[in-house]
Chain A
């Protein structure tokens, strides 16, 4: 149903063909509004109530808070666990808001609004990139709708996660290449954007060979190809190099004790963290007990088995079609390789959290969209293909909305709101608290007349950061007054063997407990 204009040779019908093409053009433009509205409504509705605030969301927000309030990258010792572009963006976004962190109620809501905007833009980019890659609007439409409504996508995309921002930058970098009209500057901007993607989340690097391939095939044979390729790479390199440059300026590039490790005292280091990250493994795809399979079966499969199966299948088919004719079906090849590259990252076996699946989802949707859309385009009658398209989108939407009712109806966040309310009313401002990161900014940022809790520290830091554990708390649980438990935090404490926090927990009694379904949070006082 793309504007192929195949009948324009008929001179008698030229005028009417043009009129018809014009009309279709308008219909097509209107067609983009659909996915954008779906994207907005599906993500905005009940956004502040579901899902539960995740600790990781809190970490990124508190680091953005540190950027704004303390001019540093983390309120704790910055250990180079992630590059900072993500929370620099969050900080910039927060500056724009009239009441900053508290513009939308609890602090994390401001981050979730940013995710809503991120998602709507991502849908636009996914639609346009898909359309331009294979020349099919139907493909873009289907990809966009799946990407917005899949319960798996919806669940994680509402959360303030670096992966969502990284996916946005990757899509933008792709879009700039496929929409480029022979400009070197556009390609340079694409390189800059991809650099930002890498500094948002390093695993974007797995996409780089595919983007490189797309770039190369789109400039090959053009007069500016050298400047295009080199310009893209130089810009990406410049942005990325700012990170080691930052570490170097802080004398934190090389590990303590290495030949060139400049500072003699114990310190964190970028290279040290990188080496450590590379060496961590939690089992590859070959190992049935690995996290890849654990997450696939426990977390991802129940949310949207259809997308996983259809996405993997479409990826395989598109890969075959693309390889069979690389010049005419380059779009198929690029889409399938994008998805395959990230699957390889997930499956290769390293430390992984369940939401790491996020950057894969737009590309699964893209592959399904391409396969389905191009099949429809091949049907002989436009009316037939449009009918099937509308029906298919209707069915997808119905099934998905059925499958994600919690997202639109449930209010889980209320237990966290009640917990915060309780702390503000009952805990003295100077109390030493161990908390999870979900409430961190709510407790540290001053909000009108509400009390501020400067001694509320993340349990991760209490367990691991020498500045908190040894210097502040002298490794003594008696110095802790309260333990604020988020949902299932006890399992996390046990799993990571956070001794100091566990000791405090064992010597504490519950003051208040808030429950909803199987979600349970507590405020506990340490009895000394």
Chain B
């Protein structure tokens, strides 16, 4: 028994440090206003100077690919400076057909710079597709959008201005999940993105150890050439690329401005959500195992890399910690001071929850949405289960990695955020004015589509 108590105490101390760090990174941008100010989009745009290649890797995206292409070519940027490459695997005939159909109709309108790139060799995954697309690209700057992304029309102007004015070669712009009220886990999932892009990434940029996002990220050609493209065996090629660029000592500029974020949706079902998380966690573990992060020059960078890449696993520890500590409180008689130490992680968990609730108000205010009391109730009841789901996904990832399973479990995209936008009102407006029937129909449709 005493070994168990010591183990739980050690676990408790580890969880305290880990959780306190996490909580601080969540509020970093509000605590350091100058860091946030520095991450704003430029107030005015300069003349377009750089040419862009937009890589659109797509797999089974028949539903949304045409609209995505439409959004990319309708950006406020001279059309001759934007090249769009839809990348598909040869077997994905549906997506290829839809994309070709769209391209044909665009040609009639005079848009000639969109094409489909097809590959038929293994592995069938996003990094491979990106390498294929990059080999055919011509733009000064290469960027990636996912098929379900709703990008801001001025995003290329922003990056053109930032890259030219500041001389940076890598820019990560904000990505934000929007459908905060569509399922029990969507609120917390949306807030994870919110805190990650709005707050935490600025800390990463300051330290010089940034795991990049999978889209709305911009590289000059030479940077991609210097790092040799994307790692096709890594499930989170984006995080890996970020580490390799950080290793070059290349400055990564984060642009986060609520107005200009790329809008996305949460995975439509819990199953999809778990598969997505498993992939991320496993990819992080792969990046951790690869060990490049150990070559970073400063201790703070290495620590942050270790912490970030190992975080999903730490998360599963936290998920396990709660039931264990509650059980210990009732069943093991400990000195009071000791018992209180074992309780401290629960305070930090509570802090994490409270900050999330505040974040909900910050998020909805920034995007002119309205949380209802039900949103908060849902998020409260779902809070611990959500942590357990994350923990489960992390455990699953660890097991898969140990057993050498490395296939890409793709997340389905059905355009829930676009349906919101098309209805003219965000989802929450419906919820505020009446019962959830309308949204219920929506999410039902989502599930069917998935």
State the A residues within 8 Å of B (CB).
71, 182-185, 223-224, 226-227, 230-231, 234, 238, 242, 245-246, 249-250
A185 to B32, CA, bound (A): 9
Contacts A234-B351, A234-B354, A238-B347 given; does A223 touch B30 at CB 8 Å: yes
Closest A-B pairs by Cβ, 7 of them: A224-B30, A184-B31, A227-B30, A226-B358, A249-B336, A249-B339, A230-B358
Q: Which of B334-365 contact A (CB under 8 A)?
A: 335-337, 339-340, 343, 347, 350-351, 354-355, 358, 361-362
Whether A184 and B27, one on each chain, are in contact in the complex, defined by CB atoms closer than 8 angstroms, is: yes
> CB-CB < 8 A to B167: which residues of A?
none
What secondary structure prevails in chain A residues at the interface with B? helix
Answer whether residue B33 sits at the interface, using C-beta atoms and an 8 A cutoff. yes
Contacts A230-B354, A230-B358, A245-B343 given; does A224 touch B31 at CB 8 Å: yes
Closest Cβ of chain B to A246, distance in Å, is: 6
A249 to B339, CA, bound (A): 8
Closest Cβ of chain A to B408, distance in Å, is: 38
Contact pick for A246, options B336, B347, B355, CB 8 Å: B336
Closest Cβ of chain B to A182, distance in Å, is: 5
Would you list 28 pairs from A and B whose C-beta atoms are within 8 A, ordered by A residue?
A71-B335, A71-B337, A182-B33, A183-B31, A183-B32, A184-B27, A184-B30, A184-B31, A185-B31, A223-B30, A224-B30, A224-B33, A226-B358, A226-B361, A226-B362, A227-B31, A227-B355, A227-B358, A230-B355, A231-B27, A234-B350, A234-B351, A238-B347, A245-B343, A246-B340, A249-B329, A249-B339, A250-B336
Whether A242 and B30, one on each chain, are in contact in the complex, defined by CB atoms closer than 8 angstroms, is: no
> CB-CB < 8 A to A234: which residues of B?
350-351, 354
A71 to B27, CA, bound (A): 37
Which residue of the partner chain A has the closest CB to B343? Answer: A245
A145 to B354, CA, bound (A): 43
Whether B354 and A249, one on each chain, are in contact in the complex, defined by CB atoms closer than 8 angstroms, is: no
A250 to B335, CA, bound (A): 9
Closest Cβ of chain A to B134, distance in Å, is: 39
Which residue of the partner chain B has the closest CB to A182? Answer: B33
Closest Cβ of chain A to B436, distance in Å, is: 26
A379 to B361, CA, bound (A): 48
Whether B343 and A227, one on each chain, are in contact in the complex, defined by CB atoms closer than 8 angstroms, is: no
> CB-CB < 8 A to A226: which residues of B?
358, 361-362
A249 to B346, CA, bound (A): 15
> CB-CB < 8 A to A223: which residues of B?
30, 33, 36
Closest Cβ of chain A to B194, distance in Å, is: 13
Closest Cβ of chain A to B343, distance in Å, is: 7
Contact pick for A245, options B30, B335, B340, CB 8 Å: B340
Residue among A182, A184, A242, A245 having the largest count of chain B Cβ atoms under 10 Å: A184
A184 to B28, CA, bound (A): 9
> CB-CB < 8 A to A185: which residues of B?
24, 31
Closest Cβ of chain B to A263, distance in Å, is: 13
A224 to B365, CA, bound (A): 13
Whether A249 and B30, one on each chain, are in contact in the complex, defined by CB atoms closer than 8 angstroms, is: no
A250 to B340, CA, bound (A): 11
Which residue of the partner chain B has the closest CB to A228? Answer: B30
> CB-CB < 8 A to B31: which residues of A?
183-185, 224, 227
What secondary structure prevails in chain B residues at the interface with A? helix
Number of contact residues on B: which range applies? Answer: 20 to 34
A316 to B361, CA, bound (A): 40
> CB-CB < 8 A to B340: which residues of A?
242, 245-246, 249
> CB-CB < 8 A to A183: which residues of B?
31-32
> CB-CB < 8 A to B339: which residues of A?
249
Closest Cβ of chain B to A136, distance in Å, is: 28
> CB-CB < 8 A to B358: which residues of A?
226-227, 230
A307 to B274, CA, bound (A): 68
> CB-CB < 8 A to B36: which residues of A?
223
Contact mask for chain B residues 60-101; partner A; CB cutoff 8 A; 1 contact, 0 none: 000000000000000000000000000000000000000000
> CB-CB < 8 A to B32: which residues of A?
183
Given contacts A182-B33, A226-B361, A226-B362, 11 further A-B contacts (CB under 8 A): A71-B335, A71-B337, A183-B32, A185-B24, A223-B33, A227-B27, A227-B30, A234-B354, A249-B329, A249-B336, A249-B339
Closest Cβ of chain B to A229, distance in Å, is: 9
Contact mask for chain B residues 361-374; partner A; CB cutoff 8 A; 1 contact, 0 none: 11000000000000
Closest Cβ of chain A to B338, distance in Å, is: 10
Which residue of the partner chain B has the closest CB to A238? Answer: B347
Which residue of the partner chain B has the closest CB to A226? Answer: B358
A229 to B350, CA, bound (A): 16
A47 to B339, CA, bound (A): 40
Closest Cβ of chain B to A423, distance in Å, is: 34
A185 to B26, CA, bound (A): 12
A246 to B30, CA, bound (A): 33
A223 to B358, CA, bound (A): 12
A184 to B355, CA, bound (A): 12
A231 to B351, CA, bound (A): 9
A227 to B360, CA, bound (A): 12
A246 to B341, CA, bound (A): 11
A245 to B344, CA, bound (A): 11
Which residue of the partner chain B has the closest CB to A184? Answer: B31
Residue among B336, B339, B343, B354 having the largest count of chain A Cβ atoms under 10 Å: B336
A223 to B32, CA, bound (A): 11
Which residue of the partner chain A has the closest CB to B339? Answer: A249
Which residue of the partner chain B has the closest CB to A234? Answer: B354
Residue among B24, B27, B335 having the largest count of chain A Cβ atoms under 10 Å: B27
Which residue of the partner chain B has the closest CB to A247? Answer: B336
A450 to B82, CA, bound (A): 91
Which residue of the partner chain A has the closest CB to B365? Answer: A226
> CB-CB < 8 A to B343: which residues of A?
245
> CB-CB < 8 A to A245: which residues of B?
340, 343
Which residue of the partner chain B has the closest CB to A250? Answer: B336
> CB-CB < 8 A to B329: which residues of A?
249
A249 to B335, CA, bound (A): 9
Contact mask for chain B residues 123-155; partner A; CB cutoff 8 A; 1 contact, 0 none: 000000000000000000000000000000000
A185 to B339, CA, bound (A): 27
A183 to B336, CA, bound (A): 34
> CB-CB < 8 A to A231: which residues of B?
27
Closest Cβ of chain A to B360, distance in Å, is: 10
Which residue of the partner chain B has the closest CB to A222? Answer: B33
Which residue of the partner chain B has the closest CB to A233? Answer: B354
Closest Cβ of chain A to B203, distance in Å, is: 13
> CB-CB < 8 A to B354: which residues of A?
230, 234
Closest Cβ of chain B to A222, distance in Å, is: 8
> CB-CB < 8 A to B24: which residues of A?
185
A227 to B339, CA, bound (A): 29
Closest Cβ of chain B to A403, distance in Å, is: 46
Closest Cβ of chain A to B24, distance in Å, is: 8
> CB-CB < 8 A to B351: which residues of A?
234, 238
Contact mask for chain B residues 322-337; partner A; CB cutoff 8 A; 1 contact, 0 none: 0000000100000111
Closest Cβ of chain A to B115, distance in Å, is: 44
Closest Cβ of chain B to A84, distance in Å, is: 11
> CB-CB < 8 A to A224: which residues of B?
30-31, 33
A226 to B36, CA, bound (A): 16
Closest Cβ of chain A to B226, distance in Å, is: 38
Closest Cβ of chain A to B363, distance in Å, is: 11
A249 to B326, CA, bound (A): 12
Contact mask for chain B residues 35-70; partner A; CB cutoff 8 A; 1 contact, 0 none: 010000000000000000000000000000000000
Closest Cβ of chain A to B28, distance in Å, is: 9
Which residue of the partner chain A has the closest CB to B334? Answer: A249
Residue among B27, B30, B339 having the largest count of chain A Cβ atoms under 10 Å: B30
Closest Cβ of chain B to A17, distance in Å, is: 29
Which residue of the partner chain A has the closest CB to B24? Answer: A185
Which residue of the partner chain A has the closest CB to B336? Answer: A249
> CB-CB < 8 A to A242: which residues of B?
340
Closest Cβ of chain B to A172, distance in Å, is: 20
A71 to B337, CA, bound (A): 10
A114 to B354, CA, bound (A): 37
A182 to B36, CA, bound (A): 13
